[in-house]
A and B are shown apart, each in its own frame.
Chain A
């Protein structure tokens, strides 16, 4: 009853091709967007923005990127942190070399740099697959992080820690510590909305279908005329573009200051994002968002519960958090290996039948 598409006829090609074909979906997405755009900026404060909303949004974007590669094209990558670092450092270089350039342009350019590097490290995917490829992408992770730490050109011969200079977009300050949380949040949200929309259209179009063909059976896809070279490399390029932009946003908006060996460390970036998309759901746009929300919210919630409510000392709480995170991941994998996106699918089925389940 709640979620029934009966009676919703599609009478034109346009309505058949719409992103959200069901009225309820349109309402839901519209409502969420309205709350996100019109309500949250008025109620936001520094704590909410820095420790919940900004990380959630930026990791949603990055998860989306990785999901394109892992979930849609089936190429496992553990080099996410490296590509994020490329985004962040190229963003820094462009920002400091061309101070006049609009920050939006800078971030897109940083994404393009990351896409180039991604294609380079995607080349081995033509020869190797599966876990072999995963290890090969680890090379990207360690090499890139090392490079940004050791080659002084990337951090302008100063300290290896880079700090975002203050920049205005449409007359509003968005980077540096003085920027208002609402402005930062809206800037980030704009990126996420636009690029989610692009990704949704990409994955259902020709490109996305060829990715999925390669994922499902690469040899069969090749026989059908899908070119593995172009397909895999576009997946690497698009994925790294998203991840690189995410890295640039982490650097400019969320953190403001980045130390490459800490922020883009393998556990905190590569595995974190991989967990997010597996828990959220591989090959699902919604899954990227749910997974990112789960992974960014869970530590915060656990910390609040353990330290403030139960009263455990922070060091012990850290260890308990490790155990809980690990067990939650295992429990999740056992109960729903297809992630939260599938859970949402099941919930929709239930709502369609409710209140007469038989």
Chain B
């Protein structure tokens, strides 16, 4: 009985009697969710354009953040902080674009037309390489990323919100808006959608697959950079950053592999669910439920809606 009480009654009682605390937890969850969404967004972009399930997205975030902090240490020659930040950001963007070109040339191009699992494993190999290169170039100790972003806490009617989280949310929102415009209004965006729809048809109307892949991987690199910066300024740049890739997977499942809004909403749901479960159901399991909650949620969800919230309906023919 005690167990059932703790499972079914007490958490809800806590939520009702401490509404402010509950809201604060939800807000915290939303903010964590924004970061998941950012990583998931990178996945969706690449999956849509090349059908590659890019496991290296998390490592790309780590790599971008490592490069940024490394550059900032090396180039700190007495110029004003904001100039240093902008310079290093620009350089990191260049690095990510070069990375996209290299990946397209040496990994994707030889693997055209291979099975999905092979491509997936190749990106896993890529994540090993990136991690090794990042650690080798910039060292593997935990780094502090200081971009001069505000770090205080806002008190909104008794609910505490971290400013950094708000900035992350705004950045994510802006990013999605820019991407939406990019995908629907520009020439390249339309080419991207054509490639996503059908590789061969796109080729036959003169769209260069290779060029498109470079662009997509660059954009995914930028998304990774934003995610890496946000996550890095929150909890330091370290190896665990690459593990958020694993967290982004259930987000994808929930939202559907092919949907950008799905990635965002899935991320928010997972973020909130995780935090609420961690905080309010703490008594029964002794913590660390964050490790698996998202996966279980995705698993249960898949039973009812295999294509995710916004994914394309899966139709199969023999």
Contact = CB atoms under 8 A, between A and B. Distances in A.
Nearest to A316: B136
Interface in A125-146: 127-128, 130-132, 135-136, 138-139, 142-143, 145-146
Interface stretch (A2-10, A165-173, A215-223, A250-258): A215-223
Given A131-B53, A131-B257, A138 B132 contact: no
Q: Which of A132, A220, A271, A316 has the most CB of B within 10 A?
A: A132
Nearest to A142: B292
A275 B121 contact: yes
Contact of A219 (B116, B128, B140, B318): B318
Contacts, number: 127
Contacts of B287: 150
A326 B252 contact: no
Interface of A: 76, 124, 127-128, 130-132, 135-136, 138-139, 142-143, 145-146, 149-150, 217, 219-220, 223, 266, 271, 274-275, 278, 282, 315-316, 319-330, 333-334, 337
Contact of A326 (B53, B129, B291): B129
Interface residues of B, number: 49
Contacts of A274: 121
Contact of A334 (B110, B249, B291, B317): B110
Nearest to A139: B295
A329 B128 contact: yes
Q: What DSSP secondary structure best describes chain A's contact surface?
A: helix
Given A136-B298, A223-B318, A321-B132, A131 B125 contact: no
B7 interface: no
A132 B306 contact: yes
B118 interface: yes
B32 interface: no
Contacts of A142: 291-292, 295
Contacts of B106: 330
Contacts of B131: 322, 326
Interface in B112-145: 114-118, 120-122, 124-133, 135-136, 140
Nearest to B103: A330
Interface in B48-65: 53
Contacts of B116: 130-131
B296 A143 contact: yes
A24 B237 CA distance: 56
Interface string B278-318: 00000001111101100110110011001000000000111
Contacts of A271: 124
Contact of B250 (A135, A145, A217, A321): A135
